[in-house]
Amino acid sequence: MWLRNCWYVIAWDHEIPAADSPALFSRKVLNESILVYRTHSGAVVALANRCVHRHAPLSKGLREGD
């Protein structure tokens, strides 16, 4: 049994694409797909890897802006 309201390591720093890359990174944590990317300033962002409209995986696309 896992605690859901906790911090978990999702990736090493080198696994997350650089801020100037449009590429996206996803990983499954606690049976939930998480999308990770860097903003232009280099901050790491993590969110659910699904479109709220069609529930398609966001990781299949490319990042445009922050």
| Higher pLDDT pick, 25 / 62 | 25
pLDDT of residue 14: 94
Q: Where are the domains of the chain?
A: 14-60
Of 1.10.1760.20, 3.40.630.40, 2.102.10.10, 3.30.70.260, which CATH number belongs to 14-60?
2.102.10.10
Q: Is 21 left (phi over 0), alpha (psi -120 to 50) or beta?
A: beta
pLDDT digits (tens, 9 = 90+) for 30-64: 999 999 999 999 999 999 999 999 989 999 988 88
pLDDT of residue 63: 85
pLDDT of residue 3: 84
pLDDT of residue 49: 96
pLDDT of residue 2: 76
The string of DSSP letters for 1-66 reads ---SSS------GGGSPPTT----EEEEETTEEEEEEE-TT--EEEEESS-TTT---GGGS-----
